[in-house]
Homo-oligomer: A and B are copies of this chain.
């Protein structure tokens, strides 16, 4: 399969669905909806929704049934970026090559646009006119898992420890906590919830969840490496900012070569989780391999 073409097709599918399902740019209040759309359509890779779709298809589900859930994962991801960039947190001016939400709309509106995207995620997942092909109890299970992964014991927990440990010496267990929660939890939940909604058996869902956990951690290790080695023009955000801010990163704790090796091991482990699946899991396999090659 041609992964780049697959990813592009999926990005277009997801972008069209997002445009269709989230509150329009012309809804009242205009400032709020402009801010939401500004961050949501700022060139995200749509990794989480693509993973949810690919996981559903791996277990024989239909993309159309999973699309609302997939979109919701991108809304949650986008809200987390808006809030992470705030002056009271990472204080970033640039995201995906563009000024951050609060630089354009002000801090108050950026907080509220993030809140609204998070809330809208749960609205789309529960709308009575969507996901009609999925049983209500499977839907509830998937939403519950996403909520847990995005909450205080998941993504938000990781972000808190990332902030409070800035400038402090971080040991490897805490580093793994931060990375597996801040980035890994939502990536793993995307795969797992996609598999649930796609109709996967408990055993299939469990294997895919483990794939997602390995993949999510590998993704963040590579992110750290790109921050050290990457170029502003490719990343669309400042480089070396982790070092400047005294952030806990894999290269800082393990060095560049060992971090790279760990990412490779994680991707191997992720691929091993897919052993029992047939060729329908090929997109998940290709995505895992691609993680190691990405430059932005």
Contact-residue size bin, chain A (C-beta under 8 Å from the other chain): 35 or more
* CB-nearest residue of chain B to A152: B116
A230 at the interface (CB under 8 A from B): no
Taken together as a complex, chains A and B put the C-alpha atoms of A107 and B86 apart, in Å, by 10
A89 at the interface (CB under 8 A from B): yes
Cβ–Cβ contact B31 & A160, under 8 A: yes
Q: Which of A142-193 contact B (CB under 8 A)?
A: 143-144, 147-148, 150-153, 156-157, 159-161, 163-164, 177
Taken together as a complex, chains A and B put the C-alpha atoms of A36 and B156 apart, in Å, by 12
Cβ–Cβ contact B83 & A106, under 8 A: no
A278 at the interface (CB under 8 A from B): no
**Residue from B29, B31, B88, B122 within 8 A of A108 (CB atoms):** B88
A65 at the interface (CB under 8 A from B): no
A268 at the interface (CB under 8 A from B): no
Cβ–Cβ contact A123 & B151, under 8 A: yes
Cβ–Cβ contact B126 & A106, under 8 A: no
Contacts of A161 in B (CB 8 A): 29
Binds B, one of A132-140, A208-216, A237-245, A250-258: A132-140
Contacts of A8 in B (CB 8 A): none
Contacts of A151 in B (CB 8 A): 23, 116, 119-120, 123
Cβ–Cβ contact A140 & B128, under 8 A: yes
Cβ–Cβ contact B111 & A86, under 8 A: yes
Taken together as a complex, chains A and B put the C-alpha atoms of A106 and B32 apart, in Å, by 25
**Residue from B31, B86, B119, B156 within 8 A of A32 (CB atoms):** B156
**Residue from B86, B109, B140, B152 within 8 A of A139 (CB atoms):** B140
Taken together as a complex, chains A and B put the C-alpha atoms of A88 and B36 apart, in Å, by 18
* CB-nearest residue of chain B to A144: B126
Cβ–Cβ contact B156 & A112, under 8 A: yes
A33 at the interface (CB under 8 A from B): yes
From residue A194, how far is it (CB to closest CB) to chain B in Å?
Answer: 16
Cβ–Cβ contact A107 & B88, under 8 A: yes
Cβ–Cβ contact A109 & B160, under 8 A: yes
Sampled A-B contacts (21; CB under 8 Å): A29-B152, A29-B157, A31-B160, A31-B164, A32-B160, A83-B111, A89-B112, A108-B163, A112-B160, A114-B115, A118-B119, A119-B151, A120-B147, A122-B122, A123-B147, A126-B140, A126-B141, A127-B144, A128-B140, A136-B140, A139-B140
Ordered nearest first, which 3 A-B pairs have the shortest CB separation? A136-B136, A88-B107, A123-B147
